[in-house]
Structure 1
Amino acid sequence: MLSIFKKKFYLQDLLEGYIDIHNHILPGIDDGAAEVKNSLELINKFEEMGVHNFIATPHIMNDYYPNDPETVDAALHKLKEALESTGKTNVQVKAAAEYMMDHAFMETMEKGDLLCLHQNYVLVEMSYFQPPINLNEILFTLQTKKYRPVLAHPERYAYFHSKKLEKYEEMKHRGCSFQLNILSLIGHYGSNIQAAAFSLLDNGMIDFIGTDTHQLRHLEKLSAAKIPEKRFNQLKPIIESTRNTFMPAFSG
């Protein structure tokens, strides 16, 4: 007789030694940490969960967060100074960006000064209302310029859900890797997003994992969350892939 009580595991048990490649911990430049003190609060909570390595990815979104390498570097410098003054020598933070694929992105790309996660990996996102009209052109240009696009939270684009996996497969064929938001697995964004996340996992389409942390309550949810053994085991190799791909960004 099959037991109706399936074993569950704490999500945070997967995160020891993990590198978070999608977060908004830099102070004062987007909708994440408002001040340095908020950045440190987030990092303290991450440390409790066993996470000490971060690639910060502030939004670069022309109409709302018109950041550039200079503003990102200034925020990173401010955070590193605070980490040093508080003695957090075991925390490593590098900076990249999360680029909205909007009308300004092509111009930024043409200038060749994209802030990459590591080597030529660049984190990109789309509007939650509709994909960019020139999406195929953007992806083609990224490839011709030797960038490797990593699509942030593919499960959150509801306009792809009605086509099952068709649109996702098309983006995969155009060279996109997919980065799942770990919060999606526990229903933080709603049941439809959770179902899409499970479907992408079940079909082997997820390449990397990120927290997309903006505020402390996100981490409080993660630290308390449990998931079924099946999901726990699905995540293990993806977290390992994330670590193996991006940890070299901190060496040398």
Structure 2
Amino acid sequence: MDDWLKDSTEVEASWVTVDLAIFTVRGDQLMVLLIERGVEPFLGRPALPGGYVQKAETLREGALRELWEEAGIDGSRLHLEQLGAYGDPGRDPRGRVVTIAYLALGRELPTPVGGTDAKRAYWAPVSQLINGTQELAFDHSAILADALEEIRGKLEYTAVATAFCGETFTLSELRTVYEVIWGHYLDPSNFRRKVLNTEGFVQPTGERRLPPTGRPASLYRRGAAWLLSPPLLRGTGYPA
């Protein structure tokens, strides 16, 4: 037997999984979808939804199936994209497992319902997870941190924040999305100026919404631009 062929037969078998970081905004908080694992390893520990990709599935098909089976959420209507691959040895005690992480954003997502190997599914505040007080199963804490930073960066250069808004929205509602995800207060006047000076970001509808108190607020919808020029940089209290 050739040496290279002999060596190849001794390589440990690998498996491919998918994991999903699903974000939404609820009650002015950034929330992420978690499951409570109902099986070993990490029985009873919180984790991102996900699982093994079946033989005849694409990665995306596997991600959508796992999201539906473990949380009862239809991912076909979400802004879903690949975040990256995670394959450090030892990340999964069952063996050599490489996972493809997906990032998804959605507005007013339903209450999840646990299924298959998920004992339950629920929305958890991201702020309570990124401070390290609660460790997720596998390497999901690292995946969550990467996903959060990816969203924060995308808010600077794209119109993805509108994915958390309704078809029409006020600038105050849009600003809240930025504040919740970036984690700091934004000066309303500076934010308004920056948004309106970014060509194609938002488009006025000509309509107004009457709040419970105060003056009517102008309504906007997402504009034609996806990439923002100039970008809305995070700064230290308002977009630069």
Q: From the two aligned structures, give the one with the greater helix fraction.
A: 1
Quick one: higher RCO (CA 8 Å, sep 6+), 1 or 2?
Answer: 1
For Structure 1 versus Structure 2, the TM-score category normalised by the shorter chain is under 0.3
Using the size of structure 2 for normalisation, the TM-score is 0.25
Q: Which has the larger radius of gyration?
A: 2
Using the size of structure 1 for normalisation, the TM-score is 0.24
